[in-house]
Amino acid sequence: TTVVVNGTASHNIPETLWGLMFEDISHSGDGGLYGELLQNRAFQEVTPGTVAALAAWTPVGGASIAVIADSTPLSSALPNALQIIVPDGVAGVGNMGFWGINVNASWTYNASFFFRFPDTLPSSDVTATASLVSASGGTVFASANVSLSPTADWTQVFTTLTPSASAPDTLNNFTVTFKDFSGTINTALFSLFPPTFMGQENGMRADIAQALLDLGPSFFRFPGGNNIEGNTIATRWQWNNTVGPLTSRPGREGTWSYINTDGLGLYEYLVWIELMGMQPIMAIWSGFSLGGQTVANSPDALAPYIEQARQQIEFVVGNTSTPGGALRASLGHPEPFTLNFVEVGNEDQFAPSTYLYRWPAFMNALQPLFPDIRFLATTFIFNPVLGPTPQSYDSHMYDTPDWFAKNSIMYDGFLRNGTTYFEGEYAAISVNPSDLFGTPANGRFTFPTMNGSVGEAAFMMGLERNADIVFAASYAPLLGHVTQNQWTPNLLAFDAGAVIKSTSYYVQQMFSLNRGDAYLPSTRADPSGTLFWSVVQQNAPPAFIIKLANTGADAANVTFQLPAAVKGAARLVQISGNPTDSNTPESPDKVVPVTSSVDAGQDMVVAAPGFSVSVVTVPIA
């Protein structure tokens, strides 16, 4: 195959092209990106007195424990407490973390909890011991004492834990025990944090955040996905319940079947996005919940939700003379955050008839207030026809590897009329086109597979070719716990100790780190064939960057006739494997990209093994 590359660029590559899509699904937030190590730390949204309310907690040393609705609640947002009845001896409670706790001797952990003595006050201070212990209880890795003053008022205590050794596995508990005390103590809002990514307060798990930073992402779409929608209107994501002290965050029933603490709140997202050098693509709730409840078509019914969305945006970009901007400043960020894109809902193709009135209601109110923000519609593109005409759409694609390759031409025929597109979710998820969302036994991927990743690469060639109208794209879902998940495959899998980079992760990275500045048109690939390519020009250092995907089993040589003289050696990054190969917890590095140096030539021959993606950077003379 010979590809002739044109020296005249057709369009620039937008700065926003490759980024991240995030929502709390498969414990990607609580138990994932969010650094908190304790599960069910504040007994949010649970029913007191039930076994379920004690999720992740166990008694230690003969204590009796129960979640109660405290007669003196810690706060109106956190009405529940963990009541511990301590017998003589050493007794208390333990938390198993999010299916394990990573005990690392090079870390210092910050631990805290609230307490009060609801009945008879002890005659003197009570010693509580916070510890990191093996789940079997045989090994104490770290412990520290804190003194609890005899008080019936809620009081917070803090300590640090520095393990004397790293644990061999993550089967560890955090415990708080009491000695020389027998009686009743109420506790609430426990917390245990390792060092966070870049030291952000109430911030992110360092290894996951680093893996995301290593993708070189430009944007972060959040907080959903289905998870912004809620299963009901009452349980939708509400920004104002996610900011301020943790004691004022009630949490919510997440859309993905577990409680969200909202410890990872709007402010934490925005600070982290800034630290990562990304920009937000932020969603507002658009009047439709996933269970089917929709806000009625009346100005009065819609007004409170539109106002909540306005306040959400004001919190992000309002100046400090506005209530939202002042609140943001009080949390430590007087400067407005960057906010260029706001998405109105998520996948409103599931409620198109009501989006016909919801879209204009939100747009007519919000666009004049925030003229510099580009609002994205979330129905199918131009279906239904919305007014005012959307400037941009977010479109989602989950399909087979084969579908992605064949549809690399998807945007080629779109009108160039000012409308821009965000491929806000896409992934090859199954080899079975008639049961895409089925089980692994029916072809669904558990982890991204090499053939899926190569199919996605073929599709991404089309996104680069159409980057004059496709301004952003993100694989989804981004993160999923290895076992506690609601969706597979995910770009990164993780558990309490490990982060597993998938074959699709590496493909995303190869595109993102080699995005170039301008697109050079070239001979068109046959969309029903097996070879797909894209060539861009990079300004500094000057280079042509060739990307080539081979979705077939047979190796192929492709000659790229480049439009200018080249010099020196070219750098080849290549990933290839068997079509069903995946990186898994057992074999996390089964398929990784390999970097090598190859001879550069103006007729540049790239050898593409079967099921491979290659990126060749050719320096310009």
Instruction: Pick between residue 21 and residue 618 the one whose CB is nearest to ligand AHR.
Output: 21
Instruction: Pick between residue 445 and residue 487 the one whose CB is nearest to ligand AHR.
Output: 487
Nearest to 453 by CA among 406, 513, 506: 506
Q: What is the distance between the alpha carbons of residues 104 and 482, in angstroms, rounded to a whole number?
A: 21
Beta carbon of residue 253, minimum distance to ligand AHR (angstroms, whole number): 15
Task: Look at residue 153 and give its three-state secondary structure.
Answer: coil
Nearest to 585 by CA among 429, 479, 468, 481: 481
CA angle 475, 227, 15 (to 5 degrees): 35
Instruction: Pick between residue 344 and residue 546 the one whose CB is nearest to ligand AHR.
Output: 344
Instruction: Pick between residue 381 and residue 569 the one whose CB is nearest to ligand AHR.
Output: 381
Question: In sequence order, what are the residues at sequence separation of 6 or more whose Cβ sits closer than 8 angstroms to the Cβ of residue 446?
Answer: 440, 488, 489, 582, 584
Amino acid at residue number 525: A
CB atoms within 10 A of CB 352: 14
Beta carbon of residue 300, minimum distance to ligand AHR (angstroms, whole number): 29
Beta carbon of residue 177, minimum distance to ligand AHR (angstroms, whole number): 41
Instruction: Pick between residue 424 and residue 579 the one whose CB is nearest to ligand AHR.
Output: 424
Beta carbon of residue 377, minimum distance to ligand AHR (angstroms, whole number): 14
Q: What single string gives the DSSP state of each residue in 356-403?
A: HHHHHHHHHHHTTTSTTSEEEE-SBTTBSPPSSPPSEEEEEEEE-HHH
Beta carbon of residue 378, minimum distance to ligand AHR (angstroms, whole number): 9
- 516: tokens are 């170039």
Residue 531: strand pairing partners: 550
Amino acid at residue number 314: E
Nearest to 267 by CA among 355, 330, 225: 330
Beta carbon of residue 509, minimum distance to ligand AHR (angstroms, whole number): 20
Instruction: Pick between residue 249 and residue 396 the one whose CB is nearest to ligand AHR.
Output: 396
Beta carbon of residue 62, minimum distance to ligand AHR (angstroms, whole number): 44
Q: Which residue has the tokens 């390519």?
A: 533
Instruction: Pick between residue 225 and residue 287 the one whose CB is nearest to ligand AHR.
Output: 225
Length of the chain: 621
Do 138 and 99 form a contact (C-beta atoms < 8 A)?
no
Instruction: Pick between residue 370 and residue 403 the one whose CB is nearest to ligand AHR.
Output: 403
CB atoms within 10 A of CB 168: 10
Residue 141 DSSP class: E
Nearest to 178 by CA among 150, 154, 206: 150
Beta carbon of residue 490, minimum distance to ligand AHR (angstroms, whole number): 9
Phi, psi (rounded to 5 degrees) for 222: -160, 165
- 40: tokens are 């069910």
Please report, for residues 253, 399, 604, the alpha-carbon distance to residue 600 in angstroms, rounded to integers and kept in the order given. Answer: 56, 37, 6
Residue 94: strand pairing partners: 58, 175
Instruction: Pick between residue 27 and residue 465 the one whose CB is nearest to ligand AHR.
Output: 27
Question: In sequence order, what are the residues at sequence separation of 6 or more whose Cβ sits closer than 8 angstroms to the Cβ of residue 506?
Answer: 453, 575, 591, 592, 593
Beta carbon of residue 223, minimum distance to ligand AHR (angstroms, whole number): 10
CA Rg, the chain, in Å? 26
Do 404 and 458 form a contact (C-beta atoms < 8 A)?
yes
Instruction: Pick between residue 226 and residue 430 the one whose CB is nearest to ligand AHR.
Output: 226
Instruction: Pick between residue 223 and residue 250 the one whose CB is nearest to ligand AHR.
Output: 223
Do 246 and 263 form a contact (C-beta atoms < 8 A)?
yes
Beta carbon of residue 436, minimum distance to ligand AHR (angstroms, whole number): 11
- 580: tokens are 């069903």
Beta carbon of residue 130, minimum distance to ligand AHR (angstroms, whole number): 37
Residue 406: strand pairing partners: none
Beta carbon of residue 487, minimum distance to ligand AHR (angstroms, whole number): 5
Amino acid at residue number 210: Q
CA 393 vs. chain centroid, Å, equals: 21
Instruction: Pick between residue 174 and residue 487 the one whose CB is nearest to ligand AHR.
Output: 487
Q: What is the distance between the alpha carbons of residues 69 and 80, in angstroms, rounded to a whole number?
A: 5
Task: Look at residue 213 and give its three-state secondary structure.
Answer: helix
Report the b/e string of 237-265 with b at 16+ CB within 10 A: bbbbbbbeebbebbbbbbbbebbbbbbbb
Instruction: Pick between residue 45 and residue 343 the one whose CB is nearest to ligand AHR.
Output: 343
Q: Which residue has the tokens 């709730």?
A: 285
Beta carbon of residue 342, minimum distance to ligand AHR (angstroms, whole number): 16
CA diameter of the chain: 87
Beta carbon of residue 354, minimum distance to ligand AHR (angstroms, whole number): 17
Beta carbon of residue 286, minimum distance to ligand AHR (angstroms, whole number): 13
Instruction: Pick between residue 181 and residue 237 the one whose CB is nearest to ligand AHR.
Output: 237
Interface ranges with ligand AHR (CB under 6 A): 23, 25, 224-226, 346-347, 396, 425, 476-477, 487
Instruction: Pick between residue 488 and residue 574 the one whose CB is nearest to ligand AHR.
Output: 488
